[in-house]
Amino acid sequence: MTDFHVDVDAPVRLGYRETTWLENLESWTQGLDFSAAGDPGREAVAGVEAAARKFAAFFEEAMLPTGVVHGSPGPWNVLVDGNRISALVAMDSAHRDYLALDVAHIVSQWGTVADDGRLKGYDPRLVRGIVRGYCSVRPLSRAEQEALAMAVPLRYGIEWLRIWELVGQGKTPFTWAEYLAAFRALELIESEEWHGLIADAADRSSAQPVEADARGGKHAE
């Protein structure tokens, strides 16, 4: 991913431009059934919308590097050879955007671990490894670090929002209480500890050797 970002400096015209995940938020919050989720569900959705407004306001003012991003660098689009990531495939979602948003996608997908086999939570070691690995090739500016710290929990919240109907239909292993608890990740946006984790990992990247592995991160020893 970092090599992909570093190699693209000049403007590139792409034939396909996927609507970004944030622009889809309104459609995902329309017509939600709150009969089972109740007030906690309304609070969870309101939290996502508030986080999205803060995120958008930040991007109105921030000056961030742009370029061609992959758009969907999840586990389903990565090839692994042994214990190393060998290729990033499926370029149909590629488009020009803030590079930090691609990094946020990686952290949100690869920086979590299963909790009791059901819910997920961020693993600081994985997050540090991913950010350090990326920054060892392409350093993140202070503004990008701030953007990343906000984008990761917001994207995480939106991904959970997308399965709302499936939870209501009983097609997931989650109870409503378990499902809504996942939206607490949005609290990281205001967490000094979380912002510090991202900044520290980015700042220390040049001093910490990293090694890519098949779990999707780069682990600093």
Structural domain range at position 184: 2-220
In this prediction, residue 28 has a pLDDT band, given cuts at 50, 70 and 90, of: confident
Q: Could you tell me the maximum CA-CA distance found in the chain, to the nearest angstrom?
A: 52
Structure tokens, 37: 């989720």
What mean pLDDT, rounded, does the chain reach? Answer: 79
Q: 175: phi > 0 → left, psi -120 to 50 → alpha, else beta; which?
A: beta
In this prediction, residue 159 has a pLDDT band, given cuts at 50, 70 and 90, of: confident
Instruction: Tell me, yes or no, if the pTM score tops 0.85.
Output: no
48 phi/psi in degrees, rounded to 5: -65, -45
Domain holding 18: CATH number?
Answer: 3.90.1200.10
Check residue 194 and give its pLDDT: 94
Q: Is the pLDDT of residue 169 over 90?
A: yes
Q: Which amino acid, 6?
A: V
Q: Is the pLDDT of residue 219 over 70?
A: no
Mean pLDDT of 150-170: 91
In this prediction, residue 161 has a pLDDT band, given cuts at 50, 70 and 90, of: very high
Q: Choose the most confident range, by mean pLDDT, from 1-15, 60-74, 180-194.
A: 180-194
* Number of structural domains the chain divides into: 1
Residue in the structure block whose two tokens are 């149909």: 92
Check residue 3 and give its pLDDT: 62
Percent of the chain whose pLDDT exceeds 70: 79
Q: Which residue has the higher pLDDT, 156 or 4?
A: 156
99-148 confidence digits (pLDDT tens): 888 899 889 888 876 555 455 578 889 999 999 999 988 899 898 999 99
Which of the 8 DSSP states describes residue 135?
H
Q: Is the pLDDT of residue 83 over 90?
A: no
- Pick the closest to residue 97 from 189, 18, 157, 155 (CA basis): 18
Distance of CA 43 to the CA centre of its chain: 22
Check residue 7 and give its pLDDT: 53
